[in-house]
Structure 1
Amino acid sequence: MRAILFCQNNYAFGILNPIKEVLIDKGYEYLWFIPEKISSSFPYKFDNYTTSITRLKQFSSDAIFVPGNEVPYYLRGLKVQIFHGLAGEKKGHFRIRRYFDLYLTQGPYFTKKFNELKDIHRDFDVIETGWPKLDVYAEDKTRYKKEKDEILKRYVAKTIILYAPTFSPKLTSAPFLINQITELAKNSDYVILLKFHPLMDNKLIKIYNDLANLHENIIFQPENNIIKFLLIADILISDTSSVIYEFLLLDKPVITFRNISDFKKYWHDSDDYNNLIGLVEANIRKDPFAKNRKIINGLFHPYNDGQSALRMVESTENYIKANGVPTKRKLSFLRRLKIHKIFR
């Protein structure tokens, strides 16, 4: 099987790399697609990759793994949607854009929703596999323990707090928590890691970067893959972001602000931007939502065996064996036009 790992944003690197490892183990050929605008941040420079759509056409793939919303319809290969997050409440998560032949879902909540949509559209299939980005949780949750211990020792601190807001202007808490994060940093027991989405407003990034320069125990993290910081942190502060579910799966407390999810009752959500310090203290001391996390895990990602990437590749293999590689998809003129505008 020949496969394309199709990236549109740099957060896709950590999602697709476990699939690449499975492809290598199976002896399959693969090719990354990296847009020129993010090529400088691509961490696997010794892998097979290209920035050229023409090169992708020449590669003549059997499958294309896509953790984004669009993929060129004219490329050969089974178009496989593998998703870029777990936030089903985000606008567009369950939108059917007609580009994909196969949806590989993360857990029962997503599988049920996409099977309902499959019954309506009747031009794609759904298989539940788990999500490859989280395979690392099964491998070694303590892989960064030494680094965590060094951070706590360096700052003579007790707790590492991760602030990871969404970039969406309507949903982000970043403009409203600047003063609260500043006040939180006055407690020397805390080290605060700032991890912003690559698409976050540059003005907000600068404000928080400046904040980190003023406070020794605030650390701005430019690294793309957030998994490391999820594993290191003791508690997460966010808003409406997929990272919430990724952190809950580690069985650690989460605080959000004005989250729009139907599941927010399972962690500590607040409408009051001025109560961050009290919320952090309460969740560190009492962890009042500890029992609720198991419910979320069962619905969103019940797989803890580290084999989601393998299931994705094998599901794709079996699907192609049974159905062949699709030669075309029925798309509207506007959908085709959109693809040509994005990928020229």
Structure 2
Amino acid sequence: MLKQMKRLKIVRRLTRLFFQASASLPVKKKQVMFESYSGKQYSCNPRAIYEYLKVEKTDYQLIWSVNKDFVKEFEERNIPYIKRLSLRWFFELARSRYWVTNSRMPNWISKPSHTIYLQTWHGTPLKKLAADMDDVRMPGTNRDRYIKNFHKEVENWDYLISPNPYSTKIFKRAFQFHKDMLETGYPRNDQLVNGNTEQTIMRIKKELKIPLDKKVILYAPTWRDHHNAGPGSYHFDLKLDLKRCQEQLGDDYIILMRLHSFITKAPDFSEYKGFVYDVTKNQDINELYLISDLLITDYSSVFFDFAILKRPIIFFTYDLEEYRDDIRGFYFSLEEHAPGSIVKTTDECIQAIERSSTENNQLKYEAFFNKFCLFDDGKATSRVVQNVFKAGE
């Protein structure tokens, strides 16, 4: 273990020197480096901005940073990419005029002075963030170190996107961000406004090869800080009884299972073939929102985005008290403000699904929408591009 740590320090020192040397070379003024969830996905706000610039036929050179284990989708889509943490990656990253990412970059990399760093982030917060966290349960760190490293990374950000005024206040305080906050709405959500058509929904369903005659449930839980086997290795304990769900709902519904990108050890869903479809790795979640008739989640920020569609949401919060009071903490009372039913058992969840088509939560949904989704008008990407790329020319 000690030898590995020493080797890692040496590698980081050498790559840092290489990065710094590369940054002294002439800047590529039109080059944009994109990354989503540490290179694990082609998704989220970076994808929306990338596709907007591509459709607009700008003269920007657009490149993706991709984890070596997730290159397949980029190759299939013919998207230009560089393997994350490769020598070429350091070289091109150092010379790029723009960085666009929705999660943090490696903490030991310092942004060159010629680079404009657009941090898009990836959700409206229910869970406490960074400096607002009372405790940090993630392995390999503690609260003080985690917050210090987080704020060190924030110093590199030139722009930060906010989806709503509520998030703006939290981001400024929790992230200690004092530069340009773009209160534009999230670019990724433009698709939920502009792409919510029967034609698009049918296309996505056919691509996924799911039944066209059944209703679609999207189950998208978040990760648990304390469910880990070491740094960067999280598991998910499935509490929803899928067998019982299949027995009760299988004639009318299918379930799309979407685990958090942090989960490295997933449950086996093979025995539920034809009822449960694991879409964790191969699909942008916005496309999954569009084809879903109903969302089941817990404390994930996905419900803020799904609310744009004004479709039923069920909160399966079997560990609510522990997660809220001991693990993470919330910014508001989920019981009071959740735009949907809160359940703690599989049977309660099934009952909530069965009554979802007739239950009237319109007033609660409207109040939630008006607070968190008013910027979602289908034009957020255009606003971001105008603020960042036009200003940077």
- 5 Å-filtered alignment, 1:1-344, equals 1-7=30-36, 8-11=38-41, 13-24=43-54, 25=56, 26-42=58-74, 45-51=77-83, 52-57=88-93, 60-70=95-105, 72-75=109-112, 76-92=114-130, 96=151, 97-116=154-173, 121=176, 123-142=178-197, 143-146=199-202, 158-168=214-224, 170=226, 175-179=237-241, 181-186=242-247, 187=249, 188-204=251-267, 206=268, 209-213=269-273, 216-221=274-279, 222-258=281-317, 260=324, 261=330, 262=332, 264=334, 265=337, 266-286=339-359, 288-317=360-389, 319-320=391-392
How far did residue 253 of structure 1 move? 0.9
Q: CA deviation digits over 1:290-318, x for unaligned, max 9?
A: 32223333333323432212211211135
How far did residue 274 of structure 1 move? 4.4
Identity of aligned residues (%): 19
How far did residue 178 of structure 1 move? 3.8
Letter matched to residue 117 of structure 2: K
Check conservation: 2:166, 2:372, Cα contact below 8 A: yes
Letter matched to residue 91 of structure 2: R
Check conservation: 1:160, 1:235, Cα contact below 8 A: yes
Q: Which runs of 5+ in 1 are unaligned?
A: 322-344
| SS in structure 1 of the partner of residue 99 of structure 2 | strand
Check conservation: 1:155, 1:217, Cα contact below 8 A: no
| RCO comparison, higher one (Cα < 8 Å, 6+) | 1
Letter matched to residue 92 of structure 2: L
Check conservation: 2:129, 2:174, Cα contact below 8 A: no
Q: Which whole-Å CA distance do the structure 2 matches of 1:273 and 1:93 have between them? A: 35
TM-score, structure 2 as length reference: 0.68
| SS in structure 1 of the partner of residue 237 of structure 2 | helix
Q: Which runs of 5+ in 2 are unaligned?
A: 1-29, 133-149, 228-233, 325-329
Assess, with a 3 A threshold, how the Cα gap between structure 1 residues 13 and 43 changes in structure 2: closer, same or farther. farther
Assess, with a 3 A threshold, how the Cα gap between structure 1 residues 117 and 145 changes in structure 2: closer, same or farther. closer
Assess, with a 3 A threshold, how the Cα gap between structure 1 residues 122 and 289 changes in structure 2: closer, same or farther. closer
Assess, with a 3 A threshold, how the Cα gap between structure 1 residues 318 and 32 changes in structure 2: closer, same or farther. same
Which stretch of the first structure deviates more once superposed, 159-168 or 86-95?
Answer: 86-95
Alignment: residue pair count: 310
Check conservation: 2:220, 2:260, Cα contact below 8 A: yes
| SS in structure 1 of the partner of residue 43 of structure 2 | helix
How far did residue 61 of structure 1 move? 2.4
Q: Which whole-Å CA distance do the structure 2 matches of 1:200 and 1:298 have between them? A: 32
Check conservation: 2:33, 2:98, Cα contact below 8 A: yes
| SS in structure 1 of the partner of residue 224 of structure 2 | coil
Q: CA deviation digits over 1:66-119, x for unaligned, max 9?
A: 11022532344111210122334254397644331221211111123334568x
Q: Which whole-Å CA distance do the structure 2 matches of 1:40 and 1:156 have between them? A: 27
Assess, with a 3 A threshold, how the Cα gap between structure 1 residues 148 and 102 changes in structure 2: closer, same or farther. closer
Which consecutive segments of 4 or more residues in structure 1 shift more than 6 A? Answer: 148-151
Q: Which whole-Å CA distance do the structure 2 matches of 1:88 and 1:198 have between them? A: 18
Check conservation: 1:13, 1:42, Cα contact below 8 A: no
Check conservation: 1:114, 1:126, Cα contact below 8 A: no
Check conservation: 2:258, 2:278, Cα contact below 8 A: yes
